[in-house]
């Protein structure tokens, strides 16, 4: 059985060698930094800035008054955490920068939200939500607090596309993907605080749970497109005690109508067995963290 510690030691640089990589950049195979779901309905998000007068301290002490969780606020939440911050150009090359930092600006992290009866993929280039699933037959809405309306609670799930980092860094790519997930969580926390919301990780969710919610476990949808590994899920609400019925939500996801097929990111790939092994070794099973484990 592979162990994460084996991967750690195998992929360390040393005085005598670098960790294994291709040793060059195959520019013809450079991954597309933007995943899209062809055929999925699209929801345009408002682009007008919100909360320009929130003081800097409020990002840390959570003193900002809560904003209603409407499309404008959800759009601002995503734009100020996982959205584009600038475009750069040198001669004929043009590339985007994002709010959340990324190793090599490769951005392996993808973002999904479950809110108001839908599961959507956030497409930062166009600042839109791609509707992946409708919960028309759901036993519960995909974000329902114990005592609040379902449109005032949101789940955000993060996944990683290992190939985006492996293209440049070889077998060390898994390290950088975990690094970038941490950056993404931090960016999401600050963005939630800007809007007076609380973001709380849900450690009782297994990787299989997250994969089912985001739809990244749907083999038929992906075909030859690069797969995504579930990383984490968080609940976002002005109510710090908001809850979600995980089992009912996952059952609803499995019964939902799903839309779209992911685009391929590269025309060729290099396989790194060490990444596949550590991915298996670090998958989080069900029941590995108590439901009352505090992660805030």
pLDDT in single tens digits along all 296 residues of the chain: 678 888 998 889 888 888 889 888 999 999 999 999 999 999 999 988 888 899 999 999 989 999 999 999 999 999 999 999 999 999 998 999 999 999 999 999 999 999 998 999 999 999 999 999 988 644 444 444 443 446 889 999 999 999 999 999 999 999 999 999 999 999 999 999 999 999 999 999 999 999 999 999 999 999 999 999 999 999 999 998 899 999 999 999 998 999 999 999 999 999 999 999 999 999 999 876 655 555 44
With 0-12 / 13-18 / 19 or more C-beta atoms within 10 angstroms meaning exposed / middle / buried, residue 268 is: exposed
Q: Which of 169, 163, 168 minimizes the C-alpha distance to 271? A: 163
Please indicate, yes or no, if residue 43 is contained in any of the structural domains. Answer: yes
* Among 249, 165, 239, residue whose Cα is nearest residue 200: 239
Residues 6+ apart with CB under 8 A from 240: 198, 200
Residue 115: burial class (beta carbons within 10 Å; 0-12, 13-18, 19+)? buried
**What is the full DSSP assignment across 60-83?**
HH--SPPPP-SHHHHHHHHHHHHS
What pLDDT score was predicted for residue 108? 97
Q: Is residue 70 part of a domain?
A: yes
CB 194 within 8 A of CB 177: no
Q: Does the CA dihedral 135-152-218-126 come out positive or negative? A: positive
pTM, full prediction: 0.92
pLDDT value at position 28?
94
What domain count does the chain have?
A: 1
Domain ranges, residue 125: 4-12+39-281
Residue at 29 is within a domain: no
24 domain-assigned = no
| 181 within a domain of the structure (yes/no) | yes
CATH code at 192?
3.40.109.10
User: Is 291 a member of any domain?
Assistant: no
> Can you read off the two tokens belonging to residue 155?
């789940």
Instruction: Look at residue 158 and tell me if it is in a domain.
Output: yes
**292 in a domain, yes or no?**
no
């Amino acid at each position: 059985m592979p162990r994460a510690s084996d991967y750690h030691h195998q992929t360390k640089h040393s005085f005598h060698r670098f960790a294994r990589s291709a040793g060059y950049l195959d520019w013809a195979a450079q991954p597309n930094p933007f995943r899209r779901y062809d055929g999925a309905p699209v929801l345009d998000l408002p682009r007008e800035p919100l909360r320009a007068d929130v003081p800097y301290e409020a990002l840390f002490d959570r003193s900002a008054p809560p904003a209603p969780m409407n499309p404008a606020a959800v759009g601002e939440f995503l734009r100020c955490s996982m959205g584009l911050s600038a475009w750069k150009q040198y001669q004929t090359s043009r590339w985007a920068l994002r709010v959340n930092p990324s190793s090599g600006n490769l951005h392996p992290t993808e973002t999904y939200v479950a809110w108001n009866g839908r599961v959507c993929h956030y497409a930062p280039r166009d600042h839109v939500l791609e509707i992946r699933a409708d919960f028309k037959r759901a036993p519960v809405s995909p974000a329902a607090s114990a005592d609040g309306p379902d449109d005032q609670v949101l789940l955000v799930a993060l996944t990683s596309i290992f190939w985006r980092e492996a293209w440049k860094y070889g077998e060390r790519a898994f390290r950088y993907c975990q690094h970038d997930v941490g950056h993404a969580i931090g960016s999401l926390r600050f963005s939630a605080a800007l809007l007076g919301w609380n973001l709380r990780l849900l450690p009782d969710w297994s990787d299989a749970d997250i994969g089912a919610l985001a739809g990244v476990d749907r083999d038929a949808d992906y075909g030859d497109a690069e797969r995504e590994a579930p990383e984490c899920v968080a609940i976002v609400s002005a109510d710090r005690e908001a809850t979600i019925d995980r089992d009912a939500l996952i059952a609803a996801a499995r019964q939902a109508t799903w839309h779209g097929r992911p685009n391929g990111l590269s025309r060729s790939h290099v396989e790194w067995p060490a990444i596949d092994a550590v991915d298996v070794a670090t998958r989080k099973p069900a029941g590995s963290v108590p439901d009352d484990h505090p992660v805030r």
